[in-house]
Amino acid sequence: MNNLSIIPLQTGSPLQARLDVNVFSIIIILVAIIFVVGIIYAVSKVFTNYLNSPAYLEKKKNRPTSVKDLNELSNHCSLVKEEKDVLTLICRNHKTPNIKYIVRDYNTMYALFKEQFQIFDRGNDEVSKTHLFSLQKKVFKVFRQQALMKNSKNISVETIFTLTVAKGFHHKLKLTENNSEAMILSLPPSIKKEELPKSLEKVNFIFELEDGTPYNVETRVVRYQEGKDGENQMVVVHSDKVSPLQKREQARAELNLPCKFHSVKVAVEGSGKKEKINYIPSEKAYEGILEDISTGGCRLIATLPIKAEQHIFIDGPFNAKQNDQAVGTIVRTTKRSDGIYILHIKFIKIDVKVTNRIQAMVYKFDE
């Protein structure tokens, strides 16, 4: 029988040593990776907190507007080159801070637009005025998105309410007080007692927010009273039946000023590409009232039963200051119950200077 000898395992052999070194190295590497990841996470956390800190946001907000800022804003608002040029001019002339933040502040942007308009006005730059107004419209359309109003308690004092009492009859009532209990509206002298809704009767008004968004509010008359200065007032309850209406494409201003209008003869000269249409007003002028106006058209009150789809020449104070002229098409005629006619007119020929004057009045840039 052969004697088996046991050979003891020799610790500290080269193979074992290499195994120990490899394991140790792996542990060191893992610890190093964990350490590095931890450092990266800690640094990123600190950096993220800094980027979200009021101090960084304020610094970013107050830094000068860059070309990149202008390009991003232009793309966001779909500005054409001429509108972007006007925006660039505004930022350069007024050294505006980061425009991407300023643009969200309605009052600041309004002041910038108004001041730039006055610069263009002093230079009689009608083309740039036109681009300024289109720029303003696009910017406010994108950034002036107010939360929908849902209760009459949020309506600002001095807001004008339109009350339609009969076909074609519109009266303007001013909100003089809006307290926790009710709204108090001042009645215009033009409204007759028999036209007023009775106490406890439901009534609908149309009003507009500062940005021009129209709303309808359904409320109920509580009572009528006399104000401190002797004016007649209507007191109505608050309501949550407040609903937005479709906003007009062009901002409109109330005028109610006398004007004159003429019938128009259309004369066509030439043909093809050389064709030219001339609108020739008749010598006879008629009296009317320019009820309201926008750059796209107006409403005119007349005593004549003028049918729709006719051309008309209007001469009146389009900006409430100086007389201007325009040619329009009567889109619709409304006969009121008192026999007076309201002509709804769309302008088809109006000078750019005139449209700029209208917009300056609508946005109060000429004040």
Q: What is the CATH classification number for the domain harbouring 231?
A: 2.40.10.220
In the chain the first and final C-alpha atoms are separated, in Å, by 125
Domain boundary at 199, 219, 244, which?
Answer: 244
* In the block, residue with structure tokens 């009150």: 301
Statement to judge: residues 303 and 335 lie in one domain:
yes
Does residue 55 form part of some domain?
no
Give the tens place of pLDDT for each residue, 214-263: 899 999 999 999 998 889 999 999 999 999 988 777 788 889 999 999 99
Statement to judge: residues 180 and 277 lie in one domain:
no
Does residue 193 form part of some domain?
yes
> Helix, strand, coil % (nearest 5) of the chain?
35, 30, 30
Domain boundary at 109, 143, 177, which?
Answer: 143
Interatomic CA distance for residues 244 and 206, integer angstroms: 10
The pLDDT value recorded for residue 153 is 95
* In the block, residue with structure tokens 């926008």: 294
Statement to judge: residues 287 and 344 lie in one domain:
yes
Does residue 231 form part of some domain?
yes
The pLDDT value recorded for residue 6 is 47
Give the tens place of pLDDT for each residue, 297-343: 999 999 999 999 999 999 999 999 999 999 999 999 988 878 899 99
**How far lies 170's CA from each of 81, 121, 186, 200, 204, in Å?**
42, 35, 15, 21, 12
Question: Is 314 in contact with 345 (CB distance < 8 Å)?
Answer: yes
Domain boundary at 114, 143, 172, which?
Answer: 143
Statement to judge: residues 236 and 259 lie in one domain:
no
Statement to judge: residues 236 and 258 lie in one domain:
no
Question: Is 305 in contact with 335 (CB distance < 8 Å)?
Answer: yes
> Taking the alpha carbons of 23, 24, 29, 33 in that order, is the dihedral positive or negative?
positive
Does residue 118 form part of some domain?
yes
Statement to judge: residues 266 and 347 lie in one domain:
yes
Interatomic CA distance for residues 86 and 89, integer angstroms: 5
Does residue 51 form part of some domain?
no
Question: Pairing between strand 214-226 and 297-302?
Answer: unpaired
* In the block, residue with structure tokens 């009608």: 126
The pLDDT value recorded for residue 338 is 81
Does residue 39 form part of some domain?
no
Question: Is 215 in contact with 244 (CB distance < 8 Å)?
Answer: yes
Domains: count for the chain = 3
Does residue 1 form part of some domain?
no
Phi-psi region of 339 (alpha: psi -120 to 50; beta: other; left: phi over 0): left
Question: Pairing between strand 341-349 and 297-302?
Answer: antiparallel
Low-confidence residues of the chain: pLDDT under 50:
1-2, 4, 6-7, 9
Statement to judge: residues 192 and 288 lie in one domain:
no
> Which residues span the domain enclosing 123?
65-143
Backbone angles phi, psi at 131, to 5 degrees: -65, -35
Does residue 53 form part of some domain?
no
Statement to judge: residues 127 and 175 lie in one domain:
no
Interatomic CA distance for residues 216 and 298, integer angstroms: 22
